């Protein structure tokens, strides 16, 4: 569970919060935190596509402070009416198609969800602004900035250079949010985060793929040479950042969120295998299951984020150690393993 810093909890007191993509990996973590740590009334808007899960919201059902709307954001007129009827004080926009591999195979669905969907929710916010005040927060990714060499980091001034259909669609959504903020004075903030991990993540993503395949004694695919580098951010730390920025961030501003947990893909997979060796010594070594496979098309080499702005402006920082967070994640998938 994410732990909000005390000064931010009262900012959600008595508020109605709408979370798009609230049944997804990060969105459901946001919803659980809001229900369990604040008295906010939470509305989830989700189409329940790939990556969405009713199980991820199961423990907060029955609280009387959660309402779920099943709809596709691309239904612009319907979404406009829904938002104006709910009248949220804060909108957290997390709904997105997010898997690079699927975007390469099916770019159209990413344009529809991430670009048209963002347009729809922005237009709904414009209508809501005629009725009341609202804050709109858009959750994005560091992949919009492209790829780094061995040195350097992304920050809020980094030039956009998306290199996959997924990152291009997210870059487009970022630009839409900023344009609506400038043209229509829409009260918006944006966060760009590094790779997330934690419980409830869909098994199409790297860390759940490695864990579940190893648990089921299946080969673990590793793209190319395994030297691509990512900065890994625990989902509860990301939730903390989202809720801080949404409630307290300066309107019109962007905040980059990372954890300084850079690992090559190979090192990450080996670390997961080492944890599984400890849990199931009779099956070790789990790294015998690693198999190099053909590299992803246009595979970005390295991502890394400078989080100085959000740390200095809002006091955010990641909690706990990467090794501890990774071990907790592995343990969750052991308990919840489905063959």
User: Both tokens of residue 277?
Assistant: 């060796």
- What is the tens place of the pLDDT at every residue in 114-155? 999 999 999 999 999 999 999 999 999 999 999 999 999 999
Q: Is residue 270 part of a domain?
A: no
Location of structure tokens 């005040």: 133
CA distance 278 to 275: 5
Going from the C-alpha of 21 to that of each of 32, 72, 105, the distances in angstroms are 13, 10, 22
Q: Is residue 63 part of a domain?
A: yes
236 a catalytic residue? no
Q: Is residue 80 part of a domain?
A: yes
CA distance 170 to 190: 12
Please report which confidence band the pLDDT of residue 298 belongs to, taking 50, 70 and 90 as the band edges: confident
Q: Is the pLDDT of residue 5 over 60?
A: no
Query: Of the residues 72, 89, 97, 143, which is catalytic?
Result: 143
Q: What is the CATH number of the domain that holds 46?
A: 3.40.50.720
Domain region containing 173: 6-201+234-261+303-319
Q: Is residue 208 part of a domain?
A: no
112 a catalytic residue? no
* Contact in structure between 47 and 60 (CB atoms under 8 Å): no
- What is the tens place of the pLDDT at every residue in 258-288? 999 999 999 999 999 999 999 999 999 999 9
pLDDT of residue 3: 52
Q: Is residue 117 part of a domain?
A: yes
**Residue 291 forms beta bridges with which residues?**
221
pTM for this predicted structure:
0.95
Tally the domains of the chain.
1
Q: Is the pLDDT of residue 50 over 90?
A: no
Q: Is residue 192 part of a domain?
A: yes
Q: Is residue 276 part of a domain?
A: no
Going from the C-alpha of 131 to that of each of 25, 44, 85, 181, the distances in angstroms are 31, 21, 10, 17
pLDDT of residue 339: 55
User: Both tokens of residue 286?
Assistant: 């789990």
Query: Of the residues 89, 97, 142, 231, which is catalytic?
Result: 142
Query: Of the residues 12, 166, 255, 333, which is catalytic?
Result: 166
Please report which confidence band the pLDDT of residue 6 belongs to, taking 50, 70 and 90 as the band edges: low
Q: Is the pLDDT of residue 246 over 60?
A: yes
> How high is the mean pLDDT of the chain?
94
**Residue 140 forms beta bridges with which residues?**
192
39 a catalytic residue? no
Q: Is residue 296 part of a domain?
A: no
């Amino acid at each position: 569970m994410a732990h909000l810093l005390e000064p931010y909890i009262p900012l959600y007191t008595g508020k109605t919060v709408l979370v798009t993509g609230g049944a997804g990996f990060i969105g459901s973590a946001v919803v659980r935190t809001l229900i369990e740590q604040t008295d906010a009334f939470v509305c989830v808007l989700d189409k329940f596509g790939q990556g969405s899960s009713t199980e991820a919201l199961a423990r907060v059902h029955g609280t009387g402070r959660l309402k779920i709307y099943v709809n596709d954001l691309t239904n612009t007129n319907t979404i406009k009416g829904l938002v104006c009827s709910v009248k949220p004080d804060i909108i957290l926009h997390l709904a997105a198609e997010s898997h690079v591999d699927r975007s390469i195979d099916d770019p159209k669905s990413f344009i529809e969800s991430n670009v048209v969907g963002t347009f729809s929710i922005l237009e709904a916010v414009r209508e809501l602004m005629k009725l009341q005040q609202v804050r709109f927060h858009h959750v994005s990714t560091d992949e919009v900035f492209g790829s780094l060499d061995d040195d350097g980091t992304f920050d809020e001034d980094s030039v956009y250079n998306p290199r996959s259909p997924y990152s291009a669609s997210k870059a487009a959504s970022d630009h839409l949010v900023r344009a609506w903020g400038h043209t229509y004075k829409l009260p918006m903030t944006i966060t760009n985060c590094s790779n997330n991990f934690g419980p409830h993540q869909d098994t199409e993503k790297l860390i759940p793929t490695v864990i579940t395949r190893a648990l089921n004694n299946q080969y673990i695919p590793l793209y190319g040479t395994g030297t691509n580098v990512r900065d890994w951010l625990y989902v509860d730390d990301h939730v903390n950042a989202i809720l801080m920025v949404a409630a307290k961030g300066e309107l019109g501003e962007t905040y980059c969120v990372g954890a300084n947990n850079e690992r090559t893909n190979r090192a990450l997979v080996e670390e997961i295998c080492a944890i599984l060796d400890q849990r199931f010594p009779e099956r070790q070594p789990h790294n015998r299951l690693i198999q190099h496979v053909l590299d992803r098309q246009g595979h970005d080499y390295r991502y890394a984020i400078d989080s100085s702005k959000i740390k200095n402006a809002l006091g955010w920082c990641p909690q706990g150690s990467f090794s501890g967070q990774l071990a907790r994640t592995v343990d969750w998938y052991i308990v919840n393993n489905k063959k």
